[in-house]
A and B are shown apart, each in its own frame.
Chain A
Amino acid sequence: MKTFILSVPPTAGNAVVPGAVAALDGSCTRFEVMAGSLSFATPLDLCALRALVDQAARVCDTVFFDCPVTPDVHNYLARMNFYERIPANVELSRGAPALRRTNRTARLIEVCRVESSDDVQRLEESVWAVAQPHFGSGPMARACVSVIAAATENVLDHAKSPVGAMVAAQSYSRTGLQLAVVDLGLGIPDTLRSRAEYRSLTDIEAVRRALDDGVTSTGEAGRGAGLAEIISSAQRTRNSTLVIQSGRAQFTVSCSRGTARTYSTRPGISTPGTWISLVLKP
């Protein structure tokens, strides 16, 4: 029996997920996620960790999840539905706490899985409910919904993600609204390289090309808008940061007072699937 043990850092828990997903190659039978020291989790952390747990449960016989020791963090994960519908072969170190739930639809979107067109529709309504209290009914709130809708559409159309798209959002009084979409599918570079004309592109070149309007892996008329739409929606916002990670490529679009700047970096570890996070500042 081979066991893989993953130690999750107190913050930025998403950072260890790419390496762990790469280790899920069928060789280990038990997977342990040690998240006891987790002290803060963003929507991206929650989505990435939950996608990892679900993928590990598919590949390994048993999965152990060491829940955060700090009660507030454990409660927060429960409030964000992190422990909801956890696969049967996942053992939690502690039971999920019983919560007295209040309606927080204006402040958060609990971790949810998007696997169908109807899921996207429900999600759009949730994003609208979170965005409106922040930004009213104007272009900022609409851009928020457009980014998440286009991102999840892409997952349904292209990603072939074994865990669907994991989505979550949280509104913070000081830093603004954070939204995340994570899938563990094919990823942008491999999807685009399935067409002969793009076969020679590196990951970073492929993602850069995929961000152009009309560049598509299917070659069908009318396709190839998704990622360009995400960028243009983000650019409609006044003050936001959009990060797209896929394979060995990371693109950051930073918008401030109507001016957008794009940066690209080549991360050391390949991001499985496509991860998109959007922060809209107040």
Chain B
Amino acid sequence: MARYEIGGGGVFFATRERGRRVREEIEQELARVSPRDGLAVSFKGVEGITVSFGDECIAKLIVARAAGDFDDRGLVIEDMNADVRETLEAVFLRRKMAVVALNDAGQPEILGEPAWMNVTLAAALELRSFRASDLADRLHITPQAANNRLKNLVSSGAVARERIVPSGGGKEFGYEVVVPAYA
């Protein structure tokens, strides 16, 4: 998994303008990542960020993933101190969105909403490579509900999505966990 360190240019990050510049750098890194691989965005050495920076830099990446940008590769946030984590959590709660982050123990977890995302992430981590119907079976939910949850999981960065052609024809997606500790 490739790694991008945000802290290369300082210890505090603020303003939407700077958030946009850093986001564009992350997008360039993501463009170099192969499908089914992922990018870890590290906040190592960063003491603090503002909500505006977090929204412009990270939340808008997730908004773009939800629209299909780079959804065939993963994205995970790591090395956050308590302040950065709290600020990013606020950013995602405000947008009612989620991102996957590695906690201090290196375990992937959801930052943001909705609440069922952590259960869905845990099921995906067990399945590793799967289809929507596999997730539906595991969670005892309908395939439609599984598809809805997977949309959120893909945009959060935890899993990559790839179109596959089933033997019977039609359109289907395969999903693969791309969180580094488990990939």
Contact B47 A128 (CB under 8 A): yes
A44 to B86 alpha-carbon distance, docked (Å) = 30
A149 & B14 in contact (Cβ 8 Å cutoff): yes
A-contact bits for B4-33, CB 8 A (1 contact / 0 none): 000000111111111000000000000000
Q: Do B83 and A142 have beta carbons less than 8 Å apart? A: yes
Please tell me if the beta carbons of B10 and A214 are within 8 angstroms of each other in the complex: no
Q: What CA separation (Å) do A214 and B96 show in the bound complex? A: 12
Chain A interface: which of B49-57, B66-74, B165-173? B49-57
Whether the Cβ atoms of A145 and B55 lie closer than 8 Å is no
Which residues of A have CB within 8 Å of B55? 222-223, 225
B130 to chain A, nearest CB (A): 31
Least distance between B55 CB and chain A CB atoms (Å): 4
Chain A contact residue count (CB 8 A cutoff): 26
Could you tell me if B50 and A229 are in contact, using CB atoms closer than 8 angstroms? yes
- Interface membership of chain A positions 136-170, coded 1 if the CB is closer than 8 angstroms to chain B and 0 otherwise: 01010010011001101100110000000000000
Taking a contact as CB atoms closer than 8 A, the residue among A121, A142, A157, A226 that contacts B48 in the complex is: A142
Judge if A124 is at the interface, Cβ distance under 8 Å. yes
CA of A62 to CA of B70, assembled, Å: 58
Is B50 a contact partner of A222 (Cβ separation < 8 A)? Answer: no
The segment from B34-42, B87-95, B101-109 found at the interface with A is B87-95
In contact, A157 and B12 (Cβ under 8 angstroms): no
A123 (CB) vs chain B CBs: closest residue: B14
Chain B residues positioned under 8 Å from A156 (CB to CB) = 15, 17
Cβ contact within 8 Å between B48 and A222? no
Q: A102-137 toward B: CB 8 Å interface, digit per residue (1/0)?
A: 000000000000001100110011001000000001
A222 near B47: Cβ-Cβ < 8 Å: no
> Which of A124, A139, A222, A229 contacts B12, CB < 8 Å?
A124
Is B12 touching A125 in the complex (CB atoms < 8 A)? yes
Q: Does A88 contact B (CB under 8 A)?
A: no
- Residues on A with beta carbons closer than 8 Å to the beta carbon of B56: 222
Given A120-B15, A149-B50, are A125 and B94 also a contact pair (CB < 8 Å)?
Answer: no
Contact A121 B10 (CB under 8 A): yes
Nearest chain B CB to A222's CB is how many angstroms away?
4
Smallest CB-CB separation from A224: which chain B residue?
A: B94
Is there a chain B Cβ closer than 8 Å to A221's Cβ? yes
Asked if B95 and A221 sit within 8 Å, CB to CB, the answer is: yes
- B99 on the interface (CB 8 Å rule)? no
User: Contacting B16 at CB < 8 Å: which of A128, A139, A157, A221?
Assistant: A157
B146 contacts the other chain (Cβ, under 8 Å)?
Answer: no
Q: Select from chain A the residue with minimum beta-carbon distance to B47.
A: A142
> Which A residues are in CB contact (< 8 Å) with B91?
222, 225
Q: Is B111 an interface residue (CB 8 A)?
A: no
Task: Let me know if A54 is at the binding interface, CB within 8 A.
Answer: no
Does B80 interact with chain A (Cβ within 8 Å)? no
With A139-B83, A225-B50, A225-B90 already in contact, 5 other A-B pairs whose C-beta atoms are closer than 8 Å: A117-B14, A117-B18, A145-B48, A149-B15, A157-B52
Could you give 10 example pairs across A and B, Cβ below 8 Å? Answer: A120-B14, A120-B18, A121-B12, A121-B13, A128-B11, A142-B48, A142-B83, A149-B48, A222-B94, A225-B90
Across chains A and B, which 6 residue pairs bring their CB atoms closest together, nearest first? A117-B17, A225-B51, A149-B14, A124-B12, A222-B55, A117-B15
